[in-house]
Copies of this chain bind each other. A is one copy, B any other.
Amino acid sequence: MQSLDRAHCEQLDRDDPLAFARDRFHLPEGVVYLDGNSLGALPKATAAHVDQVIRRQWGDDLITGWNTHGWVDLPKRLGAKLAPLIGASEDEVAVCDSTSLNVFKLLSAALSLRPKRKIILSDIGNFPTDLYMAQGLAQLLGRDHRLELVRPEQVLDRIHDDVAIVMLTDVDYRTGRRHDMAAINARARDVGALTLWDLAHSAGAMPVELDRHGCDFAVGCGYKYLNGGPGAPAFLYVARRWLGAAQQPLFGWFGHAQPFDFDTAYRPRDGIERYLVGTPSVIGMAALQCGLETFDGIDLGQLRAKSLALGDLMIRLVAQECGGTGLGLASPADGRQRGSQVSYGHNHGYPIMQALIARRVIGDFRAPDLLRFGFTPLYLRYQDIWDAVAVLKTVLAQEEWRRPEFNRRAAVT
């Protein structure tokens, strides 16, 4: 195979049909940001819009903003805006709370639909907070419910008629490996189990087809590929067939049929809004709205094609530039089985990542040994991948990671 150089990458950028989207973001000079799968970059529109919401809507219009600026409808309006990114209908999605809390709501709803089944099935690669929420719910219920964990490749075979719900993250947060959503849904449907998909590393990174694949429930994160800002509100999806049938136990006034009647008895709303709980974060939603608008006019097929091309390029460049340095590809080489990231194992993964960050190539580290590089197609260039690999090559060749300052653990790694 022909050796690649930076000029080749620059040519790919000139040919990139999504190159225009980079201008929608504020990106610090000299940084190669490969951590949009942990916290998306700042859209240029966000600060001004949030400022407007704070100064004009809240500051000038005070309490009347709930009506005059439609704050009260934000969870549903942003859900409708998000729906096309995940292959859902507008009435199946709401933006609210955190991913963790949304997992709790939807697991509870699913268990209420399968009262005789006790097993929540997941895999050991699922993101821990999803597993924790399942453990907390099972313990609270105290009726023999349990979370059963298998290896990712064992999931399909383990789906039997004792399983109430299969809870999986579509794209593994460490390796980027994708589950076969269609096959798992089909198998679950055959045995009467339900499915709950966590789209934290999917939504905004590639097209997702929740409706077409027959998913039952889904959750996802607003602050990764959706660019909603640190701790942005999350989202949830309930397939239309369950909207009326299922109920969740976090009865809050924003999920009440008539919240401003101030009844003492709870009656859920009809649609997706029964999954709302407390008063929604208007300022957080304002920022997320700008994140969602970075997808305006974006072709999701092109988004996926670029995401895979960036990953393929990274894999090829690391092989070309960093051979024999102890990096082991931890992600599927076949793009069809991979999300929008590439991870490498290395015995010194933690300090290597710190050394990269010191040189302004920002990825992240995931225990036990993974260097994780995420690709956000809206703002990453092919030349950025070249530059990142060049820095990685230097860090490894010069063993920069041996410096003491790169071997101290920070609170968030």
Q: Which residues of A contact B (CB under 8 A)?
A: 26, 28, 31, 33, 35, 38-39, 41-42, 46-47, 50-51, 54-55, 58-67, 71-73, 97-101, 104, 108, 124, 126, 128-129, 131-133, 135-137, 139-143, 149, 223, 229-234, 249-256, 259-266, 277-285, 287, 357, 362, 364, 366-367, 410-413
> From residue A272, how far is it (CB to closest CB) to chain B in Å?
17
How far apart are the CA atoms of A367 and B259 in the complex, in Å?
11
Contact B51 A249 (CB under 8 A): no
> From residue A90, how far is it (CB to closest CB) to chain B in Å?
19
Q: 5 more A-B contacts (CB under 8 A) besides A28-B62, A97-B278, A98-B252?
A: A26-B59, A66-B412, A72-B411, A149-B264, A260-B413
A-B contact pairs, 27 of them (CB 8 A): A28-B59, A28-B62, A33-B62, A39-B63, A42-B58, A47-B55, A64-B357, A97-B97, A98-B252, A98-B277, A99-B279, A100-B253, A101-B101, A104-B250, A126-B264, A128-B262, A129-B256, A131-B266, A132-B252, A132-B253, A135-B265, A140-B140, A149-B264, A230-B282, A231-B284, A261-B367, A283-B283
Contact B28 A60 (CB under 8 A): yes
Contact A278 B99 (CB under 8 A): yes
In the A-B complex, the 7 residue pairs with the closest CB atoms: A98-B278, A136-B251, A100-B278, A230-B282, A129-B253, A132-B251, A100-B252
> From residue A95, how far is it (CB to closest CB) to chain B in Å?
12
How far apart are the CA atoms of A100 and B96 in the complex, in Å?
13
How far apart are the CA atoms of A251 and B103 in the complex, in Å?
11
Residue from A97, A132, A264, A366 having most chain B Cβ neighbours under 10 A: A132
Residues of B near A41 (CB, < 8 A) are 59, 62
Given B135, B232, B278, which contacts A234 in the complex, CB threshold below 8 Å? B278
How far apart are the CA atoms of A124 and B101 in the complex, in Å?
28
Known contacts A128-B256, A250-B100, A250-B101, A62 near B47 by CB under 8 Å: no
How far apart are the CA atoms of A163 and B63 in the complex, in Å?
38
Contact A410 B136 (CB under 8 A): no
How far apart are the CA atoms of A401 and B132 in the complex, in Å?
54
Contact A39 B55 (CB under 8 A): no
Residues of B near A357 (CB, < 8 A) are 64
> From residue A397, how far is it (CB to closest CB) to chain B in Å?
25
Known contacts A54-B42, A278-B97, A264 near B28 by CB under 8 Å: no
Residues of B near A279 (CB, < 8 A) are 98-100, 223, 230-231
Residues of B near A287 (CB, < 8 A) are 54, 283
Known contacts A128-B264, A133-B252, A283-B287, A229 near B412 by CB under 8 Å: no
How far apart are the CA atoms of A122 and B139 in the complex, in Å?
26
Residues of B near A253 (CB, < 8 A) are 100, 128-129, 132
> From residue A162, how far is it (CB to closest CB) to chain B in Å?
20
Contact A46 B54 (CB under 8 A): yes
Residues of B near A33 (CB, < 8 A) are 62
Closest to A38 in B: B63
Contact A67 B281 (CB under 8 A): no
Residues of B near A136 (CB, < 8 A) are 249-251, 266
Contact B283 A133 (CB under 8 A): no
Closest to A287 in B: B283
Contact A280 B231 (CB under 8 A): yes
Residues of B near A104 (CB, < 8 A) are 250
Contact B281 A233 (CB under 8 A): yes
Residues of B near A255 (CB, < 8 A) are 132
Closest to A412 in B: B66
Residues of B near A135 (CB, < 8 A) are 251, 265-266
Known contacts A47-B55, A72-B412, A137 near B249 by CB under 8 Å: yes
Closest to A55 in B: B47
